[in-house]
Amino acid sequence: MIKKFTLGNPINTEAVVLKADSHSVDTFPFEHRIEDGKFIFEFSMESSDIIYGLGEAPRGINKRGWIYESFCSDDPFHTETKSSLYAAHNFLMMQGSKNFGIFIDFPAKIRWDIGYTHEDKTVVTIDGTDFDIYFIDDNKPIDIVKEFRYAIGKSYIPPFWAFGYQQSRWSYPDETAVDAVIDGYDKANIPLDCVYLDIDYMERYKDFTVDSEKFPDFAGYVKKKKEQGIHLIPIIDAGVKKETGYKIYEEGLINDFFCKKSDGPVFEGGVWPGIVGFPDFLNKEVREWFGSKYKILTDMGIDGFWNDMNEPAIFYSTTGLENALNKAKSLEGENLDLSKFFELKDTFTGLSNNPADYSSIYHNIDGKMVCHDKVHNIYGANMTKAAGEYFEKEFGKSKILMFSRASYVGAHRSSGIWFGDNHSWWSHILLNLKMLPSANMCGFLYCGADLGGFNENATRDLVLRFLALGVFTPLMRNHAALGTRNQECYNFDNSDDFKDIIEVRYRLIPYLYNTFCKASETNDMIFRPLAFDYPDDKLARECETQLLLGDECMICPVYEQNVNGRYVYLPEDMTYVKLSGTNVETRFMEKGIHYIDVALNEVPLFIKKGKKVPLCKPAMRTSLLDVENLEYIEG
Query: Among 357, 416, 422, 353, which residue's Cα sits nearest to residue 387?
Result: 416
Q: How far is the CB of 422 from ligand MIG (least distance, A)?
A: 9
Q: How many residues bind ligand MIG (CB under 6 A)?
A: 10
Q: How far is the CB of 170 from ligand MIG (least distance, A)?
A: 4
Q: How does DSSP assign 580-625, residue by residue?
A: ETTEEEEEEE-SEEEEEE--TT-EEEEEETT-EEEE----SSGGG-
Q: How far is the CB of 589 from ligand MIG (least distance, A)?
A: 39
> Between residues 171 and 586, which has the closer beta carbon with respect to ligand MIG?
171
Taking residues 119 to 158 in sequence order and writing x for each that binds ligand MIG by CB under 6 A, - otherwise, the string is: ----------------------------------------
- The answer to whether the beta carbons of residues 110 and 127 sit under 8 Å apart is yes
Near ligand MIG by CB under 6 A: residue from 374, 405, 465, 507? 405
> Between residues 109 and 479, which has the closer beta carbon with respect to ligand MIG?
479
Q: How far is the CB of 498 from ligand MIG (least distance, A)?
A: 21
Neighbours of 119 (CB within 10 A): 11
> Between residues 60 and 273, which has the closer beta carbon with respect to ligand MIG?
273
Q: How far is the CB of 292 from ligand MIG (least distance, A)?
A: 23
Q: How far is the CB of 57 from ligand MIG (least distance, A)?
A: 17
Per CB under 6 A, does 451 bind ligand MIG?
no
- The answer to whether the beta carbons of residues 101 and 144 sit under 8 Å apart is yes
Near ligand MIG by CB under 6 A: residue from 303, 392, 421, 488? 421
- The values of phi and psi at residue 365, to 5°, are -110, 110
- The answer to whether the beta carbons of residues 137 and 1 sit under 8 Å apart is yes
Taking residues 360 to 399 in sequence order and writing x for each that binds ligand MIG by CB under 6 A, - otherwise, the string is: ----------------------------------------
Near ligand MIG by CB under 6 A: residue from 420, 474, 529, 557? 420
SS3 267: coil
3-state secondary structure 433-471: HHHHHHHHHCCCCCEECEECCCECCCCHHHHHHHHHHHC
- What's the CA gap between 202 and 243, in Å, rounded? 14
Q: How far is the CB of 312 from ligand MIG (least distance, A)?
A: 12
Q: Which residues, 6+ apart, have CB-to-CB distance to 53 below 8 Å? A: 63, 89, 91, 92, 93, 101, 438, 441, 442
Burial class of residue 367 in the structure, from the number of CB atoms within 10 Å of its CB (0-12 exposed, 13-18 middle, 19+ buried):
exposed
Per CB under 6 A, does 75 bind ligand MIG?
no
Query: Among 165, 237, 168, which residue's Cα sits nearest to residue 207?
Result: 237
Per CB under 6 A, does 170 bind ligand MIG?
yes
Find the residue with minimal CB distance to ligand MIG: 170
3-state secondary structure 340-360: HHHHHHHHHHCCCCCHHHHHC
Q: How far is the CB of 336 from ligand MIG (least distance, A)?
A: 30
- The answer to whether the beta carbons of residues 173 and 196 sit under 8 Å apart is no
- What's the CA gap between 148 and 11, in Å, rounded? 20
- The answer to whether the beta carbons of residues 176 and 190 sit under 8 Å apart is no
Per CB under 6 A, does 207 bind ligand MIG?
no
Q: How far is the CB of 305 from ligand MIG (least distance, A)?
A: 13
> Between residues 170 and 215, which has the closer beta carbon with respect to ligand MIG?
170
Near ligand MIG by CB under 6 A: residue from 308, 392, 500, 602? 308
Per CB under 6 A, does 235 bind ligand MIG?
yes
Per CB under 6 A, does 311 bind ligand MIG?
no
> Between residues 235 and 276, which has the closer beta carbon with respect to ligand MIG?
235
Burial class of residue 365 in the structure, from the number of CB atoms within 10 Å of its CB (0-12 exposed, 13-18 middle, 19+ buried):
middle
Q: How far is the CB of 156 from ligand MIG (least distance, A)?
A: 20
Q: How far is the CB of 173 from ligand MIG (least distance, A)?
A: 12
SS3 530: helix
Q: Which residues, 6+ apart, have CB-to-CB distance to 322 below 8 Å? A: none
> Between residues 161 and 170, which has the closer beta carbon with respect to ligand MIG?
170
Q: How far is the CB of 407 from ligand MIG (least distance, A)?
A: 13
Instruction: Find the helix or strand (DSSP H, E) in which 370 lies.
Output: strand 368-371
> Between residues 71 and 511, which has the closer beta carbon with respect to ligand MIG?
71
> Between residues 55 and 234, which has the closer beta carbon with respect to ligand MIG?
234
Per CB under 6 A, does 199 bind ligand MIG?
yes
> Between residues 306 and 569, which has the closer beta carbon with respect to ligand MIG?
306
Position 253: which residue type? Answer: L
- What's the CA gap between 113 and 51, in Å, rounded? 11
Q: Return residues touching ligand MIG (CB under 6 A).
A: 170, 198-199, 235, 308-309, 405, 420-421, 479
